[in-house]
Amino acid sequence: MKQKLEEIRARAREELGSVSELSELENFRVRVLGKKGELTGILKSMGGLSAEERPKMGQLANEVRQNIEKMLADKIEELKAREVQREIESMPVFDISVPMDTAQGSYHPITLVQRQCEAVFKSMGFAVEEYSEIVTDYECFEALNIPKDHPARDMQDTYYLENGQLLKSHTSAAQNAIYKKYRDALVNEGKPIKAIFPGRCFRNEATDACHENTFFQMEGVMVDKNISISNLIYFMKTMLSEVFQKDIQVRLRPGFFPFVEPGFELDISCLICGGEGCASCKHSGWLELCPCGMIHPEVLKAGGIDPEEYTGFAFGLGLTRLAMMKYGVKDIRDLNSGSLKALSQFTEDE
Ligand code: PHE
């Protein structure tokens, strides 16, 4: 009997060692310690022992039972801990120490006007293109008819990288790539090039209420046979009246940009002061919103388009300016301030 008890203990230890699921342990318990279990069976058969042996075996049997119960309890604990660990590991990682923010987020005012403009131009058949913020000197200047050492470069001093590339000083830097991308469809299939490309631009500027070193523009180009200034005026007016939801006053002044000929400045009346003059409009009553013009023949040529056959217009809409106008932002620096107090006023329609 002693041997049997020892056997049961040894087997129990071995079996428990290999169990890896909690559910298997209940079976084990019933089979070994249950009313009809192995150990109970042995205890029941003790009646046949001599009076001398009975207490000894009784003691041993109790010891074995306690041993097995302890092993079982340890195993249960071990498997439970493992299960908890597994659950923790499968949980997404997040930082529970971050305080809960109950304030609702909102889109940045520039994002809002950008989306409105995109929607209007898309509805007029323009493709929306994205372009890199780091560009080459060729893309930003040379392909736009601004050779090295040309004085026009002074208007757009920007940030140069060590490898000779630069942070784009205007969205026009994408023009060359756009012409090359759509040229085949224009020439072979007669599809006009109609694209807008919003983007962040950089200039080495002294900042004040209306100048920032980082700002947003939205370039637009259209190239086809017989495109003229009236097409440009039509698209600009449609877009602006959609964005402002009313007829706004505009004026065209001659403007010089080496990549357009003729070139213009499209101004809108200052919506902050109503035209009387304030810091945002440099006390002129007008806000320079959108330089534009007919694409220079050299620029079309650089894009692989024959200027004898095709003409086009280009505009560089100041998205930052537009956002200031639309939302009555008096100081351009508020827009890049990251101040939630300033920015959260502009929750709109989205
Ligand atoms: N890229 C010019 C600027 O930022 C604006 C412009 C775009 C002018 C397109 C004419 C045509 O100053």
pLDDT in tens, 124-137: 999 999 999 999 99
Position in ligand 1 atom list of the atom nearest CA 170:
4
Ligand 1 centroid – CA 279 distance (Å): 23
Boundaries of every domain in the chain = 2-90, 109-344
The mean pLDDT value for 155-175 works out to 95
Residue 183: pLDDT over 90: yes
Confidence of residue 51 (pLDDT cuts 50, 70, 90): confident
Give me the percent of the chain exceeding a pLDDT of 90. 43
Which helix H or strand E contains 8, and what residues bound it? helix 2-18
Q: Which residue, among 28, 19, 32, has the nearest Cα to 82 in the 3D structure?
A: 19
Residue 31: pLDDT over 70: yes
Q: Which residues fall within 8 angstroms of residue 125, CB to CB, at 6 or more apart?
A: 194
What confidence score (pLDDT) does residue 350 get?
46
Query: Which amino acid residue places its CA nearest to atom 4 of ligand 1?
Result: 170
Q: Tell me the per-residue pLDDT of 82-115, one tens digit each, with 9 for 90 and over.
A: 888 888 888 877 777 877 776 667 788 999 999 9
Residue 215: pLDDT over 90: yes
Ligand 1 centroid – CA 108 distance (Å): 24
What confidence score (pLDDT) does residue 347 get?
64
Judged by average pLDDT, the poorest of 225-234, 299-308, 332-341 is 332-341
| DSSP for residue 249 | -
Q: Tell me the per-residue pLDDT of 57-87, one tens digit each, with 9 for 90 and over.
A: 888 888 888 999 999 899 889 888 888 888 8
* Residues within 6 Å of ligand 1 by CB: 170, 172, 257, 260, 263, 291-293, 314-316
Residue tagged 């008890």 (tokens): 5
Pocket test for ligand 1, best of 172, 178, 252, 298 (most atoms within 8 A of CB): 172
Domain spanning 109-344, CATH class:
alpha beta
Residue tagged 């003790």 (tokens): 46
Residue 173: pLDDT over 80: yes
What confidence score (pLDDT) does residue 277 get?
87
Query: Which amino acid residue places its CA nearest to atom 6 of ligand 1?
Result: 316
What confidence score (pLDDT) does residue 348 get?
60
Query: Which amino acid residue places its CA nearest to atom 10 of ligand 1?
Result: 292
Q: What are the helix and strand counts (H, E) for the chain?
A: 11, 9
What confidence score (pLDDT) does residue 57 get?
84
Structure-model confidence comparison of residues 203 and 87, the more confident one: 203
What confidence score (pLDDT) does residue 143 get?
98
Query: What 3-state DSSP class applies to 189?
Result: helix
Confidence of residue 38 (pLDDT cuts 50, 70, 90): confident
Ligand 1 centroid – CA 323 distance (Å): 18
The mean pLDDT value for 25-48 works out to 83
Where b means 16+ CB within 10 Å and e means fewer, 195-222 reads bbbbbebbbeeeeebbebebbbbbbbbb
The mean pLDDT value for 29-33 works out to 86
Query: What 3-state DSSP class applies to 38?
Result: helix
Evaluate if pTM is beyond 0.85: no
What is the rounded CA–CA span in Å between residue 73 and residue 149? 85
What is the rounded CA–CA span in Å between residue 7 and residue 46? 17
What confidence score (pLDDT) does residue 198 get?
97
